[in-house]
Amino acid sequence: MNINVKSLFITFFLSFTGLPLLSEITLEQENMLKKLPADQREAIKEKMTTSNEINEEIEEIFSQDSFLVKRPDDDEEENKKKCEECIYGYDLFKFSPSTFAPANIVPVSFSYILGPGDELSVNLYGTQEDNKTGFISRDGTFNVPVIGTVTLAGFTFAEAQKFLSKRINEELIGTKISINLKKLRSITVYVLGEAYKPGSYTLSALSSVTNSLFLSGGVNKLGSLRNIEIKRRGKLLKKYDLYDLLVKGDTSTDVRLEDGDTIFIPFIENKVTLGGDFKRPYLYEILEGETLEEVISLAGGFKSGVSLIPRIEYSTINRLLNKREISYITYNKDVSNKKILNGDALYVAEHSGLKPRSIELTGEFQNPGVYSISEGDTILAVVMRAGGYTNSAFVEGAVFLRKEVAKQEKLAFERSANELEELLARGGQNIRTNNENIQISEFALGPAYKLVERLREVEPVGRVVVSLDTLELKTNPFSNFELRDEDRIYIPKRPTSITVVGEVLKAASLQFVPGSSIEDYLNSSGGLNYEADKDRIFVISPNGQAEVYKRRFMAGGQGPDMIPGSTIVVSRSNRSWDAIQLTTVISPILSNLATSIAAIAVISKD
């Protein structure tokens, strides 16, 4: 018996969902049924039908295109200017719908009220077997198999199930009934006033005010979010405040819509600006008579850096004198009930000493870690709190990193990249640089553009050259300077090598040998290669300082004394930059880039 076991397994598995049996079976499934024993065919056919319907619904869900598209007026650059006057909540409707077709593939609660247009599937099983799929008619009735026409409009889904089960039990002994909602009826709702797209919309009967606002694109820039009016049969049913949902997450005030309801969006009447160190500074819509406490709660309260009794700058419009007046309010219970008016502005600043600040110590400290710092704390004070340095500490190679310096270095690299890119854009032209006419050929463009790319990719760490020797910190106030938030200090272990990188035959880390010169280390790395610039060799000391090594003819050369942890950098020859044409532009950039990369390499070894 050649039966598709996988199809049967899926059929049995999906049979427990209890969905209505309306889909037809396929020809392949019909042929499969013919191969089964007669007493099994009906049961398997029923399960196959259920399986097919589920597949159809799944395919319908995944085949639907997204019904939300970005608003056509939401240009990114223009939006920054426009939304300075947009109230909080307007951005919630950034995406507008591409279709207003009612959604039927949604779960239905037992409290759903049946009405004309709902499609039901009714099945009888037991001593009597029958099924019927159809719509509740305009008069609210539905034709149930065997027992005839019954009125279901106005019943909740749970009440309808209970009512039909009671009728069947009374009239058909040994028979049970199941009822399922196949499709929901559609309702027409009018969204008017300051809506994004005013008009009539066909929605699911399950739709609420919030659903309809999202599906219709929400409000325009002048539309209120807090005074939305729901009208039913010409009378005001309720005013809906969307801030209940946005600010409090409260859905209890939402309203289930009925056919013919009108959602009217009036103009915004009152606005207040909350700026500074509120948790969510923004322009808010307020209701008439709202107090200072209620308005502050819209912004989520104050940030942690604000004092317990904050001083609020209060700006209001004097309508009699027709001018804006500024005063200061000490926020406490006495002023919390102060009424806030349209056009008012509230600003609060954090206390400079309340914001937490810290510094991170890593490497060869007795107790490395993150330490809180207060105003006036110096390097020596924090080093002492960390127990000082270990015996393996190499203080001469200390790496001090500062966030502000990293930002400045990044801006400098960006500026260099922009200047070099602008220079390269004039390729083949005579360019005036440093009072000299230079010409760039195509030969130089390749490596130059790579340098531009590298300048934009590198993330500087913000290294500051410092001396962290304990005696130096105790005796020199300029070395023992005040720390800032998010500073970082790394103390490496005492190194035993010299690193040689750049245009040598083999870049390497070589064993430090007391008395060895720069030439000795260069020779140990195989010497300079063909691309090396013999006049631009420099040494980066462990503390981050860079010094150019000047070679002498015949004699080896004169340069800084080598100490463990130093890095020798051999620059590339200017041949790639059209002889000497771009040397004055490229060389300083390469030096700064190499120094920054060396700092990154040092802290990456930990």
Q: Which of 339, 594, 383 is nearest to 483 (CA)?
A: 383
pLDDT-derived band at 574 (thresholds 50, 70, 90) equals low
Under a CB-based contact definition with an 8 Å cutoff, are residues 606 and 490 in contact?
A: yes
Measured in whole angstroms, how far is the alpha carbon of residue 299 from the centre of its chain? 20
Candidates 3.30.310, 1.10.1660, 3.10.560, 2.60.40; CATH matching 272-348: 3.10.560
Categorize the per-residue pLDDT at 333 as very low, low, confident or very high, splitting at 50, 70 and 90: confident
Q: Which has more confidence, 122 or 582?
A: 122
- Give the pLDDT score at 27: 72
The residue among 573 and 396 whose pLDDT is bigger is: 396
Which segments within 76-227 are labelled E, that is strand?
95-97, 119-126, 130-135, 141-144, 148-151, 175-183, 186-193, 199-204
437, pLDDT greater than 60: no
Which CATH number describes the domain made up of 497-604? 3.10.560.10
Residue whose C-alpha is closest to residue 87's, from 247, 292, 317: 247
CA distances from 583 to 251, 405, 454 (A): 68, 27, 18
Instruction: Provide mean pLDDT across the span 223-245.
Output: 94
Q: Which helix (H) or strand (E) holds 258?
A: none
Q: What is the CATH number of domain 119-183?
A: 3.30.1950
Burial 303-328 (b: 16+ CB within 10 A, else e): beebeeebebebebeeeeeeeeeeee
- Per-state percent for the chain, helix, strand, coil, to nearest 5: 30, 30, 40
pLDDT of 325 > 70? The answer is yes
Name which of 41-45, 119-123, 260-264, 328-332 the model is least confident about.
41-45
Residues in CB range of 423: below 8 A, 6 or more apart: 431, 433, 440, 582, 585
Q: Is the pLDDT of residue 480 over 50?
A: yes
Which of 197-201, 459-463, 464-468, 588-592 is least confident? 588-592
375-398 pLDDT, tens digit each: 889 999 999 999 999 999 999 889
> Count of residues for the chain?
606
Q: Band the pLDDT of 363: cuts 50, 70, 90.
A: very high
Q: Judge whether residue 66 has pLDDT over 70.
A: no
Tokens 């620059």 belong to: 571
Instruction: Kindly state the tokens that stand for 588.
Output: 């300083």
Question: Is CATH 3.10.560.10 the right assignment for the domain spanning 358-491?
Answer: yes
Evaluate if residue 421 carries a pLDDT over 50. Answer: yes
| 605 or 336: which leads in pLDDT | 336
3-state DSSP call for residue 143?
strand
Query: pLDDT class for 40, splitting at 50, 70, 90?
Result: low
pLDDT above 80: residue 167: yes
Query: One fold for both 272-348 and 497-604?
Result: yes
Q: Indicate whether 14 pLDDT > 80.
A: no
pLDDT, residue 483, reads 93
Whether the predicted pLDDT of 281 surpasses 50 = yes
Distance of CA 457 to CAs 404, 444, 453, 454, Å? 18, 20, 6, 5
- Integer Cα distance of 104 and 153 in angstroms: 19
- Compute the distance between CA of residue 340 and CA of residue 270 in angstroms, rounded to an integer: 9
Given a cut of 90, is residue 81 above it in pLDDT? no
Written as six digits, the tokens of 264 are 């009217």
Q: Mean pLDDT for the chain?
A: 80
CATH value of 80-103+187-265 in 3.20.20.70, 3.90.480.20, 3.40.50.1220, 3.10.560.10: 3.10.560.10
According to the model, what pLDDT value does residue 199 have?
92
Q: Note the pLDDT tens digit of each residue in 91-120.
A: 888 765 555 445 555 567 788 888 898 889
- Mean pLDDT confidence for 454-461: 82
pLDDT for res 360: 94
Tokens 């130059």 -> residue: 448
Which pLDDT score, from 0 to 100, does residue 435 have?
55
- Mean pLDDT comparison of 21-25, 404-408, 593-597, highest-scoring range: 404-408
DSSP state of 219: B
What are the domain boundaries of the chain?
5-63, 80-103+187-265, 119-183, 272-348, 358-491, 497-604
Mean pLDDT of 42-70: 55
